[in-house]
Structure 1
């Protein structure tokens, strides 16, 4: 189940320090800092939330339940405390309580993706446990085994990482047209006359002459039809020519759009990979010189990011549910980011604003929780 640390509020300096200690795995020091801060600022919502996360990481589940329950009572409109309360209940093996809390989180915010994902994982776990118990009671278990395997595939533990290749292939696949039912043949009346079926090849659209329907006449009295003037088909053919460049132009526009979307997706995945590999030159290269660090200078932001990335024992950065929209030379990438470093794990929504600089797409703004 995904565990979120929340990002709905701007972090003041004390909470930023505690979050950093938590990320580094220094749980005791983080807990002490949080407690000292809350003695002077008892209503700091973000610090209370972090205190609950720290207690969970320390496996002090009863304390974490008390903290998150109080937050749901004081701030019933926030889905994050409900989510983490459910995670703690699940860790204690109280799946039904966890499911009830997650359902409450979804009622609070129906679009909260983390709660939906966790509830799916929880239901899968409960169903799997139920089938396992049924297998024990059945004795042989042979007939039940395929069901147990199937239920584990309904809600995978982690969504697949988005790739530029997969998304580009999906967007380029032609839509399959639904079959159209043939119109029913009209009922034939006694007045209908037999229709003559011609076996001659159908004329091409360019050379077609107007068809004139006349009353039926005896074949012997039929007069030869006048020969069509060659100028008329030539005129029709010339009139059809301007449509071809227009069609080619319309086709070229979606191709350029798809190429731009694929390029943005590739840039986002390269950014995540550089972060994961602690490759700071490649990581910095993903950002524009016009990047807005939202407080402070670009140089200070780079120094802070290097301090938080380099030296970690292992970093995992996964981009899930990536959606890209391109408007001219600007683009927006929305996705769920899964981050793990040591014992610290977090899943959050992220939005990257990018702009095209030459043949590269670079980040100009980074927003969390949107």
Structure 2
């Protein structure tokens, strides 16, 4: 399940969907079957993979690996409520495993349900006190809850210097004063399709721009999802990031552009996309996301500056134009 890692909480640093070695396969046949399902998902055949994992679970209802995989697949399809139900089921059937609680926290945080996320992480820590990811995520949850409380205090009393100072400290902690990046202490964080040791982490920080916080978070999530789909060669998710009114460069038709992109994305054995210095400008319906991009495909990285012009449709933001420069 190494490559089925979803960046689900752009406003919370280092939240990851993970599967650790504590999920041991109980039989070689199960391992082979789940490996095939994972490979289908990595190839962008998420719907087929989900059908296969449902069949696997029907035959192996007590296998935590299969249930966990189903939860991740649902999350990657954006079916968050269903994923929550699956991970909740895993926690009820296997209460000693910390990873499902962590993933529930990711999904709750993505919905802004920070108290539920906190409780899930506290349970993960109870089951596994040395689970460092849960400890770090819990700290991020506390910081986000504090940020919201200080923001509310400032709404009620705009002259409250103490609340303003504390809010500034939290913004500095997460880099919210300057930029949005996929990296905490480095210029960029690799979100390639082959994370080490079966896990991946993303450090996401909010931008201080003209965009309202809720729009900024949604736009950041869309950019991260696009970059992750590209890195993992998930063509369905990649193309779904582009809106119906997307205008390909060089006068290409949408059909010709998609064919070209399929060939270029499918050809390399591995792709890595690194994004840094994300800055967002937005109004209610349109946005411009500017960032530095480092692209690597079986060779030296190619670094460019890029801008994505985006348009809101309902609760989602889609790419309508892509502008790259050296």
Q: TM-score normalised to the size of structure 2?
A: 0.47
**Larger Cα-atom Rg:** 1
